[in-house]
Structure 1
Amino acid sequence: MSDTQQQKALFLQSKQGKFAVGSRSIPKPGKDELLIKVYSAALNPVDHKVQEYGVFVEQYPAVLGEDIAGLVVETGENVRNFAKGDKVFTHGQFSNDRSAFQQFTLGVMDYTAKIPGNLGYDDAATVPLGFDTASTGLYNSNKYGIGLRPPWEEGGLARYAGPIVILGGASSVGSYVIQLAVLSGFTPIITTASPVHEAYLKSLGATHVIDRHLPADVLKAAIRKYSSGHIKYVYDAISLPDTQQIGWSLLGHKGCLVLTLPAVVKEEGGTERRAVQTFGSPHADENKSLCSGSWAILSEWLEKGTIKPNRYEVLPNGLEGIIEGLERMKKGQVSGSKLVAHPQETK
């Protein structure tokens, strides 16, 4: 493709500004990069938080989106195992050439995987950020996680036992934490969610699903009943102040709470509990080696059904549809499924 070819992209026009569809050049793949024609791009809460709070992005107009699935149209220098015509999914980042909300983007080889034949673009687009946030929170050992041994490494499969609690199991991140907890050997796997999601979460491996709308004391009593009291690990996929307090108070001596937002809890009881805020980008130096390990097996796991992608809803109107989708997410109107847009359908 020539450097001058144009494509449609959704721009956040200025810091805390408005979104609008415009055009930009199609980027050229460099070393270890693939040029991908984006067929499916999934939305994440972080996308509307960038707009709302002006975080994570320095340069505007900005193209957002981290969850990408599409077709390889060109490969850069040093790219192995991928060729033009491969159907792939990849974890983007907040850089205009590598983000999701456009018709062509660049993927980094180490955090790209082939879409197995049993899945489509929409399924695959629900995987990257949710899965990576779940896995870094559980398995990163230097900053962004609690340092468990990953199930894709020798000795990691079924290594652990005892209970784990996942607050917000029907969220994208929560659903992948449940599945990874199964692979790591935890039981019981106790999660909170709206009752409408109970059967789905049990199909992913949750053993107990507790109504997240219950008063905090009733919720905690139910969790303790199923966990025999001592809880070492809680993953709070929601991480609002009230869920953090619940998670924190459930932990036993030396327990660990994984958060997706900054901690509002701190140790004052002398029980040596710790709270870790994870960061699900494989592009962060602290996550690179961990995530290249998981991405090397992701395609196989998806093909076997070891990991199941999120349920999803397709938005209409291509890139334009993302604007309304992010508004719905901001208002809390999306539950138990991912929103996916089709950039190629942009008029």
Structure 2
Amino acid sequence: MKQAFVDRNTAVTIRDTEIPSPKEGQLLIRVVVSGTNPKDWKLPQWPMRDGHGPSNEGDDIAGYVEAVGEGVVGFSKGDKVAAFHQMLTADGSFAEYAIAHAYTTFHLPAKTSFEEGATIPLAAMTAALGLYQRLNLPLPWNPASEPLPLVVYGGASAVGAYALKFAKLSNIHPLIVVAGRGKPYVETLIDRSKGDTIIDYRDGDDAVKAQIAAAIAGKPIRHAFDAVSEKGSYQNIASVLTSPGTITTVLPATGYQAPTGITIVGTNVGSVHHPPTEGKEVEDREFGAAFFPLIGRGLTQGWFSGHPHEVHPGGLGGLEGALKDLAAGKASAVKYVVRIGETEGASQ
């Protein structure tokens, strides 16, 4: 099969490799479309990856089940699915075939395109973990019954947009959303009648802080989802959050001491692949196993949708361009995806 490997310079090499076999609890998926994420160009550059060499760590899979490992229930060969590949492991989505665990896989309805499906797994689960496991906000089936302010920084990003979608399902308002070029898209995700508002980060840090404070009009605000986690984002939030308050970030808030009473906790989406700790049978893995099927139901019933997407042509041959465009900050309110069948020499 054709498989793409990304190096620390974001250069992509396509190689012929053997098709992997699923182990216990895993699925082998024939990848039709792979999504991309900022981590795909960032991780190869991290010091922790020194010495690992180029790797295929694509995490957003959309395709058909090709084979099931021992112990897998609920999936059969030929099922149309989307899946979240385990981060920092081999056999990711940048290939004709990829491996995923059954508990991070969900069925895609016939009406959902593979392109849309490939925008969902990593970003949507990051949003869900942040809102419900880290901020402990009301779940969609037990929505808030009174105003519950929430700051979402980076509302046009895929993670931020999914956080807004889930927050609305949970009746969490007012939503104070920080965005830039993607403001028109964010406008489609909020409800102005419930006090939701958008703040433009391009006005500068002081303006952002002042506008967040003004949006609340003196009321307490104790929860924030930082889908950016760089360039002063969590510092801006922390300066206006009410103590005790919590910010969840998608990147580590290293080297920063938050004000007294403000807690910063990482979303750590990779935790859905961690086994429960001793004495705790239900943690992030079980949350993911329960929440991914809910996303599938939402797609089927029409109350949930994927993120806007743009196809980079050429299949795996277009992956390098997609990742370099991500690194250059060209993506706004869009996810880049590649169709594996367009790869030169692919068997599909």
Matched, 1:280 2:269: yes
Paired residues for 1:264-343 under 5 Å: 264-268=255-259, 270=260, 272-281=261-270, 282-285=272-275, 287-343=284-340
- Asked whether 1:235 is paired with 2:228, we answer no
Q: TM-score w.r.t. structure 1 length?
A: 0.89
Alignment RMSD: 2.0
Deviations 1:210-265 (A, max 9, x none): 21211222222222222223211111110114112111112001011111111143
Distance 1:42 1:235, change over 3 A: same
Q: Which residue type is aligned with residue 309 of structure 1?
A: G
Answer yes or no: is the 8 Å Cα contact 1:11–1:21 preserved in 2: yes
Give 1:132's aligned residue.
125
Match of 1:112 in 2: 105
CA distance, structure 2, for counterparts of residue 220 and residue 50 of structure 1: 31
- The aligned amino acid for 2:5 is F
Are residues 248 and 339 of structure 1, via their aligned partners in 2, closer, same or farther at CA, if it must alter by over 3 Å? same
Whole-Å separation in 1 of the counterparts to 2:216 and 2:163: 17
Q: Are 1:253 and 2:253 an aligned pair?
A: no
Matching residue of 1:4: none
Shift in alpha-carbon separation, 1:236–1:17, aligned structure 2, 3 A:
closer
Structure 1 residue runs of 5 or longer lacking an equivalent are 1-6
Q: CA deviation at 1:204?
A: 2.1
Indicate if the aligned counterparts of 1:127 and 1:310 stay in contact, CA closer than 8 A: yes
Picking from 5, 16, 20, the partner of 1:27 is 20
For 1:182, the equivalent position in structure 2 comes to 168
The 8 Å contact of residues 173 and 237 in structure 1, kept in 2 or not, is answered as: yes
Matched-pair identity in %: 31
- Compare 164-173 and 210-219 and name the one that shifted more: 210-219
Query: In structure 1, the residue corresponding to 2:163 is in which secondary structure?
Result: helix
CA contact (8 A) 1:266 1:275 kept: no
Q: Counterpart of 1:68 in 2: which secondary structure?
A: strand
Query: d(CA) in 1 for partners of 2:2 and 2:79?
Result: 22
Aligned equivalents of 1:60, 1:105: Cα separation in 2: 19
Q: Do 1:16 and 1:50's aligned partners in 2 also have CA atoms closer than 8 Å?
A: no
* SS of aligned partner of 1:63: coil
Paired letter, 2:3: A
Q: CA deviation at 1:291?
A: 0.9
1:95 aligns with 2:81: no
SS of 1:117's equivalent?
coil
After TM superposition, give the deviation of residue 149 of structure 1 in Å. Answer: 4.5
- 1:9 alignment partner, one of 3, 11, 19: 3
Alpha-carbon distance in 1 for matches of 2:329, 2:10: 21
- 2:43 — aligned with what? 50
**Which residue is 2:185 aligned to?**
200
Give yes or no for the alignment of 1:216 onto 2:205: yes
Cα distance in 1 between the residues matched to 2:323 and 2:182:
22
